[in-house]
A = this chain, B = another copy of it.
Amino acid sequence: MIKKTDVIVIGAGLSGLTAARKLEELGYSVKVIEARDRVGGRNETHLLADGQVLDLGGQWIGPTQTKMYELCKELKLELFPTHNEGKVILYDHGKKSLMGSKNGALPKLNVFILLGLGLIIKKIEKRVDQIDLDAPWKHPKAKVWDSETLESWVRKNTKLKKVRAYFNIVSEVVFSTEASDISFLHFLFYVKSGSGMDNLLNIDEGAQKERVVGGTQQISIRLSELLKNEVILESPVTRIEQSENGVKVFSKEQFWQAKKVIVTLPPTLAGRITYAPPLPGMRDQLTQRIPAGSVIKIQIIYKTPFWRKKGLTGQAVSFTGPLKIVMDNSLPNDSRGVLVMFMEGNDGREASEWTLEKRTQKAIGCLVKYFGDEAKDYLDYIERNWCDEEFTRGGYGGHFTPGVWSGFGKYLRKPIQHIHWAGAETATVWNGYMEGAVRSGERVATEVSETLKDS
């Protein structure tokens, strides 16, 4: 007989590695199984020819993400601030204006619009305050909020087109999907989970405040090196069988046995594993209902950060696509300039059908509009379409469509016999972010250890 591991963890991203580590610390034996040929999940660091690195996935951390700060400190990873000196470009259907970079979440718009926007944000914040992160479906108005999309709620609450457009940008930037696609209740939950609108959207003192020297994948690499057992790579899990005695986890070629299994995949991918016996209907239907957003992350490298000498941050916010958001992503101790930009939601979907050449042209076209002709002379173009990634299938994370929190929220973290669920999408605090992934890993490790103690 093979000696059974205590716990198998599926997925070697931040959530899975955190869970594995904590369980090992508690004295349990753990195997981590990963589909890809690398650890890190949605944190992937791209090596440039000269040894410098860029993050193709999640890259920022900021205030209230306490677990991430602790983790980076412990793993001896240095941080550096996101460049935020100078003016931000607001591009409004051909009209370019400049705004300060320390404004908070509000773009520079005319006073009438700003007032309208302020009112809406106040209304949202009032509702956000009332959300219970553990159970957003329990609010007395949850069903009503969950029957609206973010877009239909905003449209009902303001006639100002600019304000509506602003929330479409917010939705694309935060969820990589259209404001039409997400439940208004989910938006409220997410804003609360991310410490409020300002914190979610800001650079200074916000979620985009700092970056990791050497790239965020280093966090997972270093975490995996601390584990007793090597992570089993290139082994997409296809099947989980469970019985009273424990679980069997199958890849195409082999299988492993354990007492418990933790699935850290995003719900939409967790639903693709074959379970025997089949999972209860409600758990299955939950996984049918949390699609990933659509995002292509693009980074363009220039000889210098030419925008800085013009007094610009390198940030641009545009009401029109395909690039609605651009930021300075230059490297520390490097003379080159890097711009990072996102084609998101419907922009990302349309761009998915373009050739690489067309996407490059379109991106450069936008940058020229925002930053001038110097944007034409780039050294390198690097992109990652997360929708095409077989083991992610979208970004930044899964979002709840209308009716899902109220109809299925209670199944999100509910274990099924020996199967426990983790991943950024299951987090209450910083849901969808690296911080949420780590927190979900800690939560599930405690949960599993409690059940192992009892058995």
Contacts of A278 in B (CB 8 A): 388, 390
Q: In the complex, which of the residues B280, B349, B352 contacts A388, with contact meaning CB atoms closer than 8 Å?
A: B280
Q: What 1/0 mask marks residues of chain A from 177 to 194 whose CB sits below 8 Å from any chain B CB?
A: 111110000000000000
Q: B156 contacts A387, CB within 8 Å? A: no
Instruction: Name the interface residues of A365-424: CB closer than 8 Å to any CB of B.
Output: 385-390, 393-394, 401-404, 406-408
Determine if A140 is an interface residue (Cβ-Cβ < 8 Å): no
Q: In the complex, which of the residues B151, B153, B282, B387 contacts A284, with contact meaning CB atoms closer than 8 Å?
A: B387
Query: What is the CA–CA distance of A387 and B394 in the complex, to the nearest angstrom?
Result: 26
Beyond A178-B407, A181-B402, A401-B402, whether A387 also contacts B349 by CB under 8 A is no
Determine if A81 is an interface residue (Cβ-Cβ < 8 Å): no
Q: A285 contacts B387, CB within 8 Å? A: yes
Q: Which of A39-47, A92-100, A141-149 contacts B (4 or more CB under 8 A)?
A: A141-149
Instruction: Name the interface residues of A213-255: CB closer than 8 Å to any CB of B.
Output: 236, 238
Contacts of A390 in B (CB 8 A): 278
Determine if A446 is an interface residue (Cβ-Cβ < 8 Å): no
Q: B291 contacts A353, CB within 8 Å? A: no
Q: A281 contacts B346, CB within 8 Å? A: no
Q: What 1/0 mask marks residues of chain A from 324 to 348 whose CB sits below 8 Å from any chain B CB?
A: 0000000000000000000001100
> Number of copies of this chain in the oligomer?
2
Instruction: Name the interface residues of A166-216: CB closer than 8 Å to any CB of B.
Output: 177-181
Beyond A393-B281, A393-B284, whether A148 also contacts B152 by CB under 8 A is yes
Query: What is the CA–CA distance of A282 and B388 in the complex, to the nearest angstrom?
Result: 8
Q: In the complex, which of the residues B346, B385, B408 contacts A406, with contact meaning CB atoms closer than 8 Å?
A: B346
Q: B408 contacts A349, CB within 8 Å? A: yes
Q: B403 contacts A281, CB within 8 Å? A: no
Determine if A272 is an interface residue (Cβ-Cβ < 8 Å): yes
Q: In the complex, which of the residues B152, B156, B281 contacts A394, with contact meaning CB atoms closer than 8 Å?
A: B281
Contacts of A177 in B (CB 8 A): 403
Q: B151 contacts A149, CB within 8 Å? A: no
Beyond A180-B406, A393-B288, A403-B180, whether A238 also contacts B274 by CB under 8 A is yes
Determine if A15 is an interface residue (Cβ-Cβ < 8 Å): no
Query: What is the CA–CA distance of A268 and B180 in the complex, to the nearest angstrom?
Result: 21
CB distance from A242 to the nearest CB of B (A): 15
Determine if A116 is an interface residue (Cβ-Cβ < 8 Å): no
Query: What is the CA–CA distance of A385 and B285 in the complex, to the nearest angstrom?
Result: 12
Query: What is the CA–CA distance of A156 and B156 in the complex, to the nearest angstrom?
Result: 8
Contacts of A289 in B (CB 8 A): 291, 401
Query: What is the CA–CA distance of A147 and B181 in the complex, to the nearest angstrom?
Result: 7
Contacts of A402 in B (CB 8 A): 149, 152, 180-181, 401-402
Query: What is the CA–CA distance of A379 and B345 in the complex, to the nearest angstrom?
Result: 54
For residue A146, which residue of chain B has the nearest CB? B180
Q: B403 contacts A282, CB within 8 Å? A: no
Determine if A292 is an interface residue (Cβ-Cβ < 8 Å): yes
Q: A403 contacts B178, CB within 8 Å? A: yes
Query: What is the CA–CA distance of A389 and B279 in the complex, to the nearest angstrom?
Result: 10
Determine if A108 is an interface residue (Cβ-Cβ < 8 Å): no
Determine if A63 is an interface residue (Cβ-Cβ < 8 Å): no
Query: What is the CA–CA distance of A180 and B141 in the complex, to the nearest angstrom?
Result: 13
Determine if A155 is an interface residue (Cβ-Cβ < 8 Å): yes
For residue A411, which residue of chain B has the nearest CB? B349
Query: What is the CA–CA distance of A346 and B406 in the complex, to the nearest angstrom?
Result: 9
Contacts of A401 in B (CB 8 A): 181, 289, 401-402
What are 29 contact pairs spanning A and B, CB under 8 A? A146-B180, A147-B152, A147-B178, A147-B180, A148-B152, A149-B149, A178-B407, A180-B402, A180-B406, A181-B402, A181-B404, A236-B274, A268-B288, A272-B272, A272-B274, A281-B387, A282-B294, A282-B387, A284-B387, A285-B291, A288-B292, A288-B394, A289-B291, A289-B401, A294-B407, A345-B407, A346-B407, A349-B408, A401-B402
